Amino acid sequence: MSRISVHKLREWKAQGQRFAMITAYDYPSARLVEQAGVPIILVGDSLGSVVLGYESTVPVTMDDIVYHTRAVVRGTSKSIIVADMPFMSYQANADEAVRNAGRLLQEGGANAVKLEGGRHIVPLVRRMVDVGIPVMGHLGLTPQSVNQFGGHKVQGKTPAAAARILNDARALEEAGAFAIVLETIPAPLAKMVTERVGVPTIGIGAGPHCDAQVQVFHDMLGIYDDQRPLKHAKQYARLGETIREAVRTYVHEVEEGAFPTAAHSFDMDEATLGELTHSG
């Protein structure tokens, strides 16, 4: 069974067909996400926060992304797998950037890569596309630049900042990006960008007018339900409490001798048991 093509997404935009993208970072979550009908899975550098326990995405390495992308690819057969290019994997040197992007496809098995940034990365996007590497863009709040932004703040609120995002989106499309993530920008601006580019926009904290939406797996499932969710994250379940309660029950049953029972144990042939008893 072949995977969905990145070119299919542009057809969906033209047809007005909206779609969902979700992050996944390992084999079991990727299987579940694909089985639920998600056409695009992002192996995001958000794994630094939700899987590896870092305070931001900045410490995530190329080896981290390659490792987790391999697991996601093994758990899927239809979804497009997009791998994030982590901090400093493409900012310093164009040749190194292309090699790193190639690693994500060749070693990780990804179908595409995602880069943060606007006009300053356009030459790099064009070069990657020219050598056959599909590229997804990312504008607005770009988490790898969180230190520069001074936190997770809404971007594009002034006329100049909004115009810059709009122009950057057009430039990324012209460079060959097949889709653009819009993160934490005003909904009217996201609507304007969506209407003025021919490639799909994928919103996260960008309102309802984007062609698609993306959410972080752990946020939408309430894995960390003891943390205050971000404004743009909707919890569709509270699995954190469900998991804790299941483990509490297990601990209690072990301590009380209620688990395991005969139903969870393996028997032995009476003759063999008798022989062992007498030989002892």
Which sign, positive or negative, has the C-alpha torsion 116, 132, 12, 75?
negative
Condensed to tens digits (0 to 9), the pLDDT of residues 26-66 reads 999 999 999 999 999 999 999 999 999 999 899 999 999 99
Q: Which of 34, 116, 173, 183 is catalytic?
A: 183
Query: Where residue 280 falls among pLDDT bands split at 50, 70, 90?
Result: low
88 exposure class (CB count in 10 Å sphere: 0-12, 13-18, 19+): middle
Task: Specify the pLDDT at position 79.
Answer: 98
Contact 204, 182 (CB under 8 A): yes
Q: Is the pLDDT of residue 149 over 50?
A: no
Per DSSP, 280 falls in state -
Q: Please give the structure tokens belonging to residue 246.
A: 């299941």
Domain extent listing, the chain? 6-237, 242-279
Query: Where residue 152 falls among pLDDT bands split at 50, 70, 90?
Result: low
Q: Please give the structure tokens belonging to residue 264.
A: 């969870």
Task: Specify the pLDDT at position 231.
Answer: 75
Query: Where residue 277 falls among pLDDT bands split at 50, 70, 90?
Result: confident
For the chain, percent of residues with pLDDT exceeding 90: 86
Compute the distance between CA of residue 13 and CA of residue 198 in angstroms, rounded to an integer.
Answer: 8
Condensed to tens digits (0 to 9), the pLDDT of residues 222-260 reads 999 877 666 788 999 999 999 999 999 999 999 999 999
Q: Please give the structure tokens belonging to residue 219.
A: 């946020």
β partners of residue 166: none
In Å, how far are 140, 146, 189 from 162, measured between CA atoms?
A: 9, 18, 7
Query: Where residue 142 falls among pLDDT bands split at 50, 70, 90?
Result: confident
Q: Please give the structure tokens belonging to residue 109.
A: 């098995």
Range in 86-90, 149-153, 155-159, 271-275 with the lowest mean pLDDT? 149-153
Task: Specify the pLDDT at position 145.
Answer: 58
Give 6-237's CATH code, choosing from 3.20.20.60, 3.40.50.12500, 3.40.50.720, 3.40.1230.10. Answer: 3.20.20.60
Mean pLDDT of 103-111: 98
Mean pLDDT of 70-95: 96
Give every CB contact of residue 31 below 8 A, 6+ residues apart in sequence.
Answer: 75, 76
Mean pLDDT of 152-158: 86
For the chain, percent of residues with pLDDT exceeding 70: 94
Q: Is the pLDDT of residue 90 over 80?
A: yes
Range in 91-100, 169-178, 220-229, 240-249 with the lowest mean pLDDT? 220-229
What is the DSSP code string of 217-274? HHHHTTTTTTSPPPTT---S--HHHHHHHHHHHHHHHHHHT-SS-GGGS----HHHHH
Could you give phi then psi for residue 252, rounded to 5 degrees?
-60, -45
| Catalytic residue flag (residue 275) | no
247 exposure class (CB count in 10 Å sphere: 0-12, 13-18, 19+): exposed
What is the DSSP code string of 116-157? -BSGGGHHHHHHHHHTT--EEEEEES-GGGHHHHTSS-----
Task: Specify the pLDDT at position 146.
Answer: 54
